Amino acid sequence: MASTPFELKGKTVFVAGHRGMVGSSLVRRLAQEDVELLTMPRGEVDLRDQAAVNRWFAARRPQVVFLAAAKVGGIAANDLLRAEFLYDNLRSRPT
Protein backbone atom coordinates (compact mmCIF):
# COMPACT_ATOMS: atom_id res chain seq x y z
CA MET A 1 0.00 0.00 0.00
CA ALA A 2 1.30 3.47 -0.85
CA SER A 3 2.49 5.67 1.99
CA THR A 4 0.40 8.66 2.93
CA PRO A 5 1.82 12.16 3.49
CA PHE A 6 -0.41 12.52 6.57
CA GLU A 7 -0.58 9.83 9.23
CA LEU A 8 -4.15 8.71 9.92
CA LYS A 9 -3.38 5.91 12.37
CA GLY A 10 -5.31 6.31 15.60
CA LYS A 11 -7.13 9.45 14.46
CA THR A 12 -10.85 10.19 14.49
CA VAL A 13 -11.84 10.70 10.84
CA PHE A 14 -15.12 12.21 9.62
CA VAL A 15 -16.34 11.69 6.05
CA ALA A 16 -19.11 14.10 5.03
CA GLY A 17 -21.09 12.69 2.13
CA HIS A 18 -20.30 9.08 2.98
CA ARG A 19 -23.13 7.71 0.83
CA GLY A 20 -22.12 9.40 -2.42
CA MET A 21 -19.77 8.02 -5.04
CA VAL A 22 -16.61 9.68 -3.71
CA GLY A 23 -17.54 9.52 -0.03
CA SER A 24 -18.42 5.82 -0.10
CA SER A 25 -15.10 5.08 -1.78
CA LEU A 26 -13.30 7.02 0.96
CA VAL A 27 -15.17 5.11 3.65
CA ARG A 28 -14.25 1.76 2.08
CA ARG A 29 -10.60 2.80 1.92
CA LEU A 30 -10.54 4.24 5.44
CA ALA A 31 -12.11 1.05 6.81
CA GLN A 32 -8.74 -0.60 6.05
CA GLU A 33 -6.93 1.88 8.30
CA ASP A 34 -6.59 2.01 12.08
CA VAL A 35 -8.98 4.96 12.48
CA GLU A 36 -12.19 5.77 14.29
CA LEU A 37 -14.49 6.46 11.36
CA LEU A 38 -17.33 8.96 11.81
CA THR A 39 -20.18 9.50 9.38
CA MET A 40 -23.33 11.57 9.65
CA PRO A 41 -26.66 10.57 8.10
CA ARG A 42 -28.16 13.34 5.95
CA GLY A 43 -31.13 13.80 8.30
CA GLU A 44 -28.98 14.24 11.42
CA VAL A 45 -27.39 17.61 10.59
CA ASP A 46 -27.79 19.97 7.63
CA LEU A 47 -24.17 20.65 6.62
CA ARG A 48 -25.20 24.12 5.44
CA ASP A 49 -26.21 25.04 9.00
CA GLN A 50 -23.00 26.30 10.65
CA ALA A 51 -24.38 26.28 14.19
CA ALA A 52 -25.58 22.67 13.88
CA VAL A 53 -22.28 21.58 12.35
CA ASN A 54 -20.33 23.37 15.10
CA ARG A 55 -22.37 21.55 17.77
CA TRP A 56 -21.81 18.20 16.03
CA PHE A 57 -18.07 18.83 15.75
CA ALA A 58 -17.83 19.95 19.38
CA ALA A 59 -19.52 16.75 20.53
CA ARG A 60 -17.47 14.36 18.34
CA ARG A 61 -14.19 16.26 17.82
CA PRO A 62 -12.94 14.72 14.55
CA GLN A 63 -9.23 15.20 13.91
CA VAL A 64 -9.44 14.68 10.15
CA VAL A 65 -12.29 15.72 7.84
CA PHE A 66 -12.95 14.62 4.27
CA LEU A 67 -15.63 16.76 2.64
CA ALA A 68 -17.28 14.79 -0.15
CA ALA A 69 -20.83 16.06 0.41
CA ALA A 70 -22.62 18.07 -2.24
CA LYS A 71 -26.02 18.58 -3.74
CA VAL A 72 -26.00 16.88 -7.12
CA GLY A 73 -28.43 15.57 -9.69
CA GLY A 74 -28.30 13.43 -12.76
CA ILE A 75 -26.68 14.59 -15.98
CA ALA A 76 -29.71 16.63 -17.03
CA ALA A 77 -30.19 18.26 -13.62
CA ASN A 78 -26.50 19.11 -13.34
CA ASP A 79 -26.69 20.75 -16.77
CA LEU A 80 -29.95 22.61 -16.20
CA LEU A 81 -29.43 23.67 -12.59
CA ARG A 82 -25.73 24.57 -12.56
CA ALA A 83 -26.10 27.87 -10.70
CA GLU A 84 -28.57 26.47 -8.16
CA PHE A 85 -26.31 23.55 -7.32
CA LEU A 86 -23.24 25.77 -7.05
CA TYR A 87 -25.07 28.25 -4.84
CA ASP A 88 -26.47 25.56 -2.55
CA ASN A 89 -23.10 23.82 -2.24
CA LEU A 90 -21.20 27.03 -1.46
CA ARG A 91 -23.61 28.72 0.92
CA SER A 92 -23.87 28.28 4.62
CA ARG A 93 -26.58 29.49 6.92
CA PRO A 94 -25.48 32.15 9.42
CA THR A 95 -25.08 31.11 13.02
pLDDT the model gives residue 72? 78
CA-CA distance, 32 to 30, in Å (whole number)?
5
- Please check whether residue 51 lies inside any domain of the structure: yes
- Please check whether residue 95 lies inside any domain of the structure: no
Q: Band of the pLDDT at 93, cuts 50, 70, 90?
A: low
**Which CATH number fits the domain that encloses residue 82?**
3.40.50.720
* Mean pLDDT score of the chain: 87
- Please check whether residue 24 lies inside any domain of the structure: yes
- Please check whether residue 4 lies inside any domain of the structure: no
Domain count for the chain, please give it: 1
Q: What angle do CA 13, 14, 20 make, to 5 degrees?
A: 130
| pLDDT over 60 at 49, yes or no | yes
| pLDDT over 80 at 1, yes or no | no
User: Could you list the residue range(s) of the whole structural domain that residue 49 is in?
Assistant: 12-90
- Please check whether residue 7 lies inside any domain of the structure: no
Strand residue runs (E) in the chain: 12-16, 36-38, 64-67
Q: Would you tell me how many other CB atoms lie within 10 Å of the CB of residue 52?
A: 15
pLDDT the model gives residue 18? 93
| pLDDT over 70 at 94, yes or no | no
